[in-house]
């Protein structure tokens, strides 16, 4: 099945009461496992290239990797730029074949965030692809704290920016290694009341599985970004593969042993979000 846009997968999710996983990639091994898991579950998947991924592998290479996987996949695959911080980041991703651009202006004043996001949404739409924006800063475990999304700001942002999906800050935190927290459902309902745009949760690894499933099936949250828990699964599998035979040095053999555990962990994530 061919590469698709974010709108192609989120609008059906919004209509039919499920969510799609935005899976944070770091390299070939995990993105390949993510697509295999999506095929096994029969669901679409969003492959995401965030700042740390882009620091390791250039965007032109990532675009080719994503497109290669999509062209050979039996399910829809979105090639998504995660946390583009400048117009130039987004322009380069578009030129490299990405089908979705996420511009993160959440640290900026509302009017500036709207203006800059709208410019990127216009560029994306002119090229026939999608744009995600963020209103309300989502913080980081052990780092910057979150600034929750104001529903009135969210309504204005959705209306004036022209985004196809809107990331919100409702108790979610990036890089969370446990699921002891939870999302502010009252704030989510208040945002839903004033906008119809599909909503996105960054830092989805920190959201309890039961709450993820409930919101996927009973709210306008159509995309959960999942990275940390799958990185942990990969790290555990890699550690076991290395320690199993300290004399082994062939990275291809070692990396092969991460595939099945990451597929299994990813399938668990996908099952919690998929429709009936």
Model pLDDT, residue 140: 62
**Alpha-carbon span 162 to 164, nearest angstrom:** 7
Q: For residue 131, which of 192, 159, 90 has the smallest C-alpha distance?
A: 90
Mean pLDDT, residues 26-44: 97
pLDDT value of position 17: 94
**pLDDT at position 25, please?**
96
DSSP β-ladder status, 130-135 and 20-25: unpaired
Tell me whether residue 266 is exposed, middle or buried, using C-beta atoms within 10 angstroms of its C-beta: 0 to 12, 13 to 18, 19 or more.
Answer: buried
| Residue 166 pLDDT | 96
Residue 10, φ and ψ in degrees, nearest 5: -85, -35
Strand ranges for 169-260 from DSSP E: 199-201, 221-226
Residue of 8, 82, 89, 104 with catalytic role: 82
Q: pTM of this prediction? A: 0.93
Query: Per residue in 163-198, pLDDT tens?
Result: 999 999 886 665 454 555 678 888 899 999 999 999
Residue 82 falls in the annotated catalytic set: yes
**pLDDT band with cut points at 50, 70 and 90 for residue 1:** low
Domains and CATH numbers, the chain: 3-230+262-271 (3.20.20.70)
List all residues 6 or more positions away from 204 whose beta carbon is below 8 Å from its beta carbon: 21, 22, 172, 212, 224, 225, 226
Q: Fill in the DSSP letter of residue 72.
A: T
Lowest mean pLDDT, pick from 123-137, 139-153, 168-182, 218-232: 168-182
């Amino acid at each position: 099945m061919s590469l698709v846009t974010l709108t192609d997968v989120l609008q059906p999710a919004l209509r039919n009461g499920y969510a799609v996983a935005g899976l944070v990639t770091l390299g070939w091994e995990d993105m390949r496992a993510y697509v295999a898991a999506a095929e096994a579950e029969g669901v679409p998947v969003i492959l995401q290239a965030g700042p740390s991924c882009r620091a390791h592998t250039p965007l032109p290479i990532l675009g080719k990797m994503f497109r290669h996987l999509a062209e050979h996949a039996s399910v829809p695959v979105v090639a998504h730029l995660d946390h583009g911080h400048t117009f130039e980041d987004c322009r380069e991703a578009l030129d490299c074949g990405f089908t979705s651009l996420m511009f993160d202006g959440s640290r900026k004043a509302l009017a500036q965030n709207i203006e800059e996001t709208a410019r990127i949404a216009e560029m994306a739409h002119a090229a026939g692809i999608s744009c995600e924006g963020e209103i309300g800063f989502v913080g980081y475990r052990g780092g910057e704290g979150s600034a929750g999304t104001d529903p009135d700001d969210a309504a204005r942002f959705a209306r004036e920016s022209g985004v196809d999906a809107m990331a919100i800050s409702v108790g979610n935190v990036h890089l969370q290694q446990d699921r002891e927290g939870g999302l502010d459902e009252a704030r989510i309902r208040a945002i839903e009341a004033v906008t119809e745009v599909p909503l996105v949760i960054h830092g989805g690894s920190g959201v309890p599985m039961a709450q993820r499933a409930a919101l996927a099936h009973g709210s306008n949250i159509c995309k959960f970004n999942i990275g940390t828990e799958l990185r942990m699964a990969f790290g555990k599998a890699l550690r076991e593969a290395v320690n199993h035979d300290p004399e082994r040095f062939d990275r291809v053999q070692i990396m092969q042993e991460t595939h099945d555990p990451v597929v299994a962990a990813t399938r668990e994530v996908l099952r919690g979000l998929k429709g009936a």
